[in-house]
Amino acid sequence: MTSNNKNVPRLGVNIDHVATLRQARGENYPSLIQAANTCLASGADQLTIHLREDRRHIQDTDVEAVQLVTKKYGKPLNLEIGCNPSIVEIALTVAPDWICVVPENRQERTTEGGLNLLDQENFDKVLGVCHKLKSNLPNTKISLFLEADEKIIEKALELKNAIDAVEIHTGDYAKNFLDGNEISHFMKAYDRAAKILRNNNIHCHAGHGLTNESVIPLLQSGLFEEYNIGHWIISEALFEGLGNVVKKMKKSFVDVSGEK
């Protein structure tokens, strides 16, 4: 079921986690391409992958291979990148539909927050990357991964001509939701951030840490046009599929042993 309806937000599925599993054993499975096909055939509106400097999950060859799948389905590829010049060069060659600029450090388990635009050196680096991407890739849209902090969002407006969207980091919200904590302050911050962005014609996306439950209040708020969700979807897919796969393996045992 794809959402052609403009009122239904887009679902981008982050498939890095399939590559993480593959890299853990250095095998060719699980197949990232099969995952890409399955997501798009099942209604995902976009695929998201993060080519990290340390190549811990997505590999260079995966980027083109996933892009071919998105092209086959006529759906966007959203490539997440840090500001490392060699990764930016790859993004320029790939020319994906969207590029989401994210902070990256080698020690983190996953992207731990939005870009720190309040640090001038960092801001200048992001500015340089955005201008380079925009001037070389006129058909690629750019988003910045940011916290819903008013000062940061206001600072992002200085990049207004070089960006198309902001993806709000929902990781802390999602953690607090799962722990049963108060979430109203997150919702207020998201509302303020989305208003500022909308008033400046910048699209508002969301992502990180979301589950099928924590995404509900966000969907109800109507603030975000797009969500990028990965870890929960891939985790839940285990339990939607595990029983069937055990049955399949057990069937081979029984078939080969000739028992009825």
User: Would residue 185 show up in a list of annotated catalytic residues for this protein?
Assistant: no
DSSP state of 4: -
Record the tokens describing residue 165, joined without a space.
């969207």
Scanning residues 56 to 95, which ones bind ligand PXP (CB under 6 A)? Answer: 80
Based on the shown chain and the rule CB under 6 A, indicate whether residue 16 belongs to the binding site for ligand PXP: yes
* Per-residue interface string for the shown chain with ligand PXP, residues 152-191, x marking contact by CB under 6 A: ---------------x------------------------
DSSP letters spanning 79-139: EEE-S-HHHHHHHHHH--SEEEE----TT-SS--S---TTSHHHHHHHHHHHHHHHHH-TT
Scanning residues 116 to 155, which ones bind ligand PXP (CB under 6 A)? Answer: 145
- With beta carbons less than 8 A apart as the criterion, state whether 182 and 176 touch: yes
Q: How far is the CB of 246 from ligand PXP (least distance, A)?
A: 26
Q: How far is the CB of 50 from ligand PXP (least distance, A)?
A: 5
Q: Which amino acid is at 14?
A: N
Choice among 17, 80, 147, 167 that is catalytic: 80
Q: Mark the segment that binds ligand PXP (CB under 6 A) among 131-139, 182-190, 194-202, 228-236.
A: 228-236
User: Would residue 205 show up in a list of annotated catalytic residues for this protein?
Assistant: no
Q: Rounded to an integer, what distance in angstroms lies between the CA atom of residue 15 and that of residue 74?
A: 18
Strands 46-50, 226-229: pairing is: unpaired
Q: What is the CA radius of gyration of the chain?
A: 19
Whose Cβ is closer to ligand PXP: residue 123's or residue 145's?
Answer: 145
Q: Mark the segment that binds ligand PXP (CB under 6 A) among 28-36, 67-75, 225-233, 251-259.
A: 225-233
Q: How far is the CB of 158 from ligand PXP (least distance, A)?
A: 21
Based on the shown chain and the rule CB under 6 A, indicate whether residue 45 belongs to the binding site for ligand PXP: no
Q: Rounded to an integer, what distance in angstroms lies between the CA atom of residue 35 and that of residue 32?
A: 5
Among 110, 136, 212, 235, contact with ligand PXP (rule: CB under 6 A)? 110
